């Protein structure tokens, strides 16, 4: 067996790192979490000639500094994990900024290749880069590339295969006195038995002196820490004396200066062409009035198309399953029908909507619209104590909550991510919207439906506000890069779509099928009666509903799409006749409760997978509480009106 090489992709956000990754790995990528965290990384294999490479796409980071979770974990990964090669991807049109990360990566002391991505974009901006000269200055191979078109991939792997080293480490040009302090700290680190090369130790020392890395994460031994702390204190005084600046500012300024000087040496500017169409577009897309109009059109179009395509696909996908149902009675046949229910529920109801939804969101993502929508919505979300980025998962929730939970990944701050995930289940998904629309259409009128949807938005706002008050944050606001527009590549969009759909197939769908089977068993053995009795104080007493709906509500958790069907079975009447056995107040209460209470089991599974058990239970408690309060309010308000 040939030796498998592990390659890590490192780069700043929006440098085209994921594009390169998707080009290499495509449909075969898999998502995994960094150990003990929610930080996601994608892995996949790439074969070339007789070699197999394991490619790891690390989260995009601006700097190797301790900051948010993604940065911390990337730093830890690069220092502690086993891998063979660093491929550092740079946005060629922002060379100087990208080089600041490159300069840090070069100090880790691993074989490295630099990819100058988006050469076309740089050229368009009038930036010409002398690649050979940059290679000489950095002393590592530099490959010009256009990842979206696969340009440069062959050369990249040739460079990797022909890499002879030696692996140099690029030491920071610290001023004399500070260099001495860094050397001293390096020696202390070495004495502390940190099993690393000198180069990496020196890198750690400068990071610690610069306040970019806390000592505790590197040294566990107390005696060592005391020794190191003395040097750090000494160095800090030196920094303040010589520069009258904080150490981290000095280190950063030096690095910034080095990167700028490097960039100036290799870049020549051609006369910049006039603003391209794509650049002018922002004055409309981000406009205080037109921006919101465009956003409304984009999202309405997005939903319209999703439901249009979904509805069309659904007919085709569900038809074959109807033939599979059997009329025979008996345990085996009941279980068979339940399994078919679960299968068709996945393929026929969720899948048709999930597929176009994920496809469109990938396109919006690749074009670069998502950060723009986040900017537009930030002001409003800020009032709720969240950031603009939370808008994306919330809007997705109207289609299906499961991908909406997954979409919270675009939010970097853990706190905001959790809060957004707790809000997502309050957004009625297509299954719950169906319940609302069907009942409104037949009994309660369109005003009721509009009222509930409006109430829903207000409730999301209020719950959001309360949650953010409980879990305060001190961040002064959003800092989000707005990348330049890109033309999406079909291959990459499809690969991304598939990745999300795959998650549904392997996580949520099995839960759906299991849920159906449990439901089938319960009906077969007639356990409904007992459950209804147990739930009686709640359904009848608190909500004033017929006690028969107990099972419907309890098992609606398994399959919200089945709520209406279960209601018909429970009440023993077709939907059109339900008005005869339930009053309008009861129907209104039932609908409101259904919209807000516990998300379906697939959503819960998604929350569990993305976060943990605790967050999942919070979600259950929170949604049940809110639903109960609202349902009781509806019960009495409706009578009063």
Summarize as ranges the residues that interact with other proteins (CB under 8 A). 62-63, 65, 67, 93-94, 96-97, 100-101, 125, 211-212, 246, 248-249, 252, 256, 282-283, 286-289, 291, 371, 374-376, 378-380, 382, 387-388, 475-484
Considering the complex, state which of residue 275 and residue 542 has its C-beta at the smaller distance from other proteins: 275
Q: CA–CA separation, 198 vs 109, rounded Å? A: 9
Smallest distance from the beta carbon of 465 to other proteins, in angstroms?
17
Considering the complex, state which of residue 152 and residue 291 has its C-beta at the smaller distance from other proteins: 291
Smallest distance from the beta carbon of 127 to other proteins, in angstroms?
9
Considering the complex, state which of residue 67 and residue 451 has its C-beta at the smaller distance from other proteins: 67
Task: Return all residues near 539 (Cβ < 8 A) that are at least 6 apart.
Answer: 532, 545, 546, 547, 549, 550, 553
Alpha helices, DSSP H only, in 38-170? Answer: 69-80, 95-105, 119-124, 131-138, 153-161
Smallest distance from the beta carbon of 62 to other proteins, in angstroms?
4
Smallest distance from the beta carbon of 606 to other proteins, in angstroms?
28
Question: Is the CB of residue 606 less than 8 Å from the CB of residue 406?
Answer: yes
Residue 457 CB neighbour total at 10 angstroms: 12
Question: Is the CB of residue 139 less than 8 Å from the CB of residue 170?
Answer: yes
DSSP string, 332-393: HHHHHHHHHHHHHIIIIIIHHHHHHHHHHHHHHHHHT-HHHHHHHHHHHHHHTT--GGGHHH
Considering the complex, state which of residue 121 and residue 181 has its C-beta at the smaller distance from other proteins: 121
Q: Which of 111, 113, 119 is nearest to 144 (CA)?
A: 119
Question: Is the CB of residue 106 less than 8 Å from the CB of residue 138?
Answer: yes
Considering the complex, state which of residue 279 and residue 322 has its C-beta at the smaller distance from other proteins: 279
Instruction: List the structure tokens of 95.
Output: 């060379």
Smallest distance from the beta carbon of 391 to other proteins, in angstroms?
12
Considering the complex, state which of residue 67 and residue 461 has its C-beta at the smaller distance from other proteins: 67
Q: CA–CA separation, 570 vs 635, rounded Å? A: 21
Q: Whose structure tokens read 């109801």?
A: 349
Considering the complex, state which of residue 411 and residue 517 has its C-beta at the smaller distance from other proteins: 411
Considering the complex, state which of residue 42 and residue 91 has its C-beta at the smaller distance from other proteins: 91
Smallest distance from the beta carbon of 15 to other proteins, in angstroms?
12
Q: CA–CA separation, 207 vs 64, rounded Å? A: 9
Smallest distance from the beta carbon of 331 to other proteins, in angstroms?
59
| Beta strand segments in 494-539, E | none
Smallest distance from the beta carbon of 387 to other proteins, in angstroms?
8
Smallest distance from the beta carbon of 171 to other proteins, in angstroms?
20
Smallest distance from the beta carbon of 484 to other proteins, in angstroms?
8
Q: CA–CA separation, 283 vs 141, rounded Å? A: 39
Sign of CA dihedral 387, 392, 393, 399: positive
Instruction: List the structure tokens of 592.
Output: 């409101």
Residue 365 CB neighbour total at 10 angstroms: 19
DSSP string, 569-608: HHHTS-GGGHHHHS-HHHHHHHHHHHHHSS--HHHHHHHH
Considering the complex, state which of residue 203 and residue 611 has its C-beta at the smaller distance from other proteins: 203
Considering the complex, state which of residue 420 and residue 532 has its C-beta at the smaller distance from other proteins: 420
Question: Is the CB of residue 561 less than 8 Å from the CB of residue 431?
Answer: yes
Considering the complex, state which of residue 385 and residue 399 has its C-beta at the smaller distance from other proteins: 385
Considering the complex, state which of residue 154 and residue 383 has its C-beta at the smaller distance from other proteins: 383
Q: How far is CA 12 from CA 88, 102, 170, 296, in A?
A: 9, 10, 20, 31
Q: Which of 120, 115, 98, 131 is nearest to 24 (CA)?
A: 115
């Amino acid at each position: 067996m040939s030796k498998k090489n592990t390659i890590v992709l490192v780069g700043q956000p929006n440098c085209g790192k994921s594009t390169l990754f998707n080009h290499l790995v495509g449909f075969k990528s898999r998502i995994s979490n960094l150990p003990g965290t929610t930080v996601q990384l994608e892995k996949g294999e790439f074969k070339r000639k007789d070699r197999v490479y394991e490619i790891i796409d690390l989260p995009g980071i601006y700097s190797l500094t301790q900051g948010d979770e993604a940065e911390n974990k990337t730093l830890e990964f690069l220092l502690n994990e086993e891998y063979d090669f660093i491929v550092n991807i740079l946005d060629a049109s922002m060379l100087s900024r990208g080089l600041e990360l490159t300069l840090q990566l070069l100090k880790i002391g691993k074989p490295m290749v630099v990819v100058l991505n988006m050469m076309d974009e740089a050229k368009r901006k009038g930036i010409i880069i002398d690649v050979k000269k940059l290679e000489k200055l950095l002393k590592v191979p530099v490959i010009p590339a256009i990842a979206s078109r696969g340009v440069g991939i062959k050369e990249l792997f040739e460079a990797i295969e022909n890499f002879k080293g030696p692996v140099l480490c690029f030491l920071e040009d610290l001023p004399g006195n500070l260099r001495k302090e860094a050397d001293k700290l390096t020696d202390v680190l070495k004495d502390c038995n940190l099993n690393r090369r000198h180069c990496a130790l020196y890198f750690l020392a400068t990071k610690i002196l610069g306040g970019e890395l806390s000592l505790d994460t590197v040294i566990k031994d107390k005696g060592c820490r005391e020794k190191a702390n003395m040097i750090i204190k000494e160095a800090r005084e030196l920094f303040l004396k010589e520069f009258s600046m904080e150490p981290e500012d000095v280190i950063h300024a030096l690095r910034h200066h080095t990167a700028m000087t490097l960039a100036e040496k290799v870049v020549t500017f051609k006369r910049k062409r006039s603003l391209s169409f794509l650049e002018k577009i922002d004055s409309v897309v981000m406009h205080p009035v037109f921006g919101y109009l465009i956003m409304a059109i984009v999202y309405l179009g997005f939903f319209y198309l999703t439901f249009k395509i979904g509805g069309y696909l659904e007919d085709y996908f569900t038809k074959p399953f109807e033939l599979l149902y059997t009329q025979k009675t008996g345990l085996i046949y009941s279980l068979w029908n339940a399994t078919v229910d679960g299968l068709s529920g996945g393929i026929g109801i969720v899948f048709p909507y999930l597929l176009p939804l994920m496809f469109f969101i990938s396109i919006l993502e690749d074009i670069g619209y998502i950060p723009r929508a986040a900017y537009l919505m930030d002001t409003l979300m800020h009032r709720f104590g969240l950031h603009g980025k939370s808008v994306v998962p919330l809007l997705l929730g109207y289609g299906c909550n499961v991908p909406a939970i997954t979409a919270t990944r675009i939010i970097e701050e853990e706190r905001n991510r959790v809060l957004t995930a707790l809000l997502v289940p309050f957004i009625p998904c297509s299954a719950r919207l169906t319940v609302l629309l069907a009942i409104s259409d037949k009994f309660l009128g369109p005003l009721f439906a509009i009222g509930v949807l409006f109430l829903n938005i207000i409730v999301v706002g209020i719950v959001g506000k309360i949650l953010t008050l409980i879990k305060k944050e001190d961040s002064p606001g959003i800092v989000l890069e707005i990348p330049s527009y890109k033309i999406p590549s079909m291959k990459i969009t499809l690969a991304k779509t598939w990745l999300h759909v795959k998650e549904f197939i392997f996580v949520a769908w099995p839960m759906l099928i299991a849920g159906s089977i449990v439901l089938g068993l319960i009906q077969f053995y007639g356990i409904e009666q007992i459950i209804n009795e147990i739930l009686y104080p709640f359904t009848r007493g608190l909500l004033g509903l017929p006690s028969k709906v107990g099972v419907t509500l309890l098992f609606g958790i398994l399959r919200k799409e089945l709520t209406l069907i279960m209601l018909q079975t429970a009440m023993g009447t077709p939907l059109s006749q339900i008005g005869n056995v339930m009053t309008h107040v009861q129907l209104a209460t039932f609908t409101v409760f259904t919209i807000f209470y516990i998300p379906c089991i697939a959503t819960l599974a998604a929350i569990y997978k993305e976060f943990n058990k605790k967050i999942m239970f919070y979600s259950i408690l929170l949604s049940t509480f809110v639903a109960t309060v609202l349902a009781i309010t509806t019960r009495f308000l409706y009578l009063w009106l």
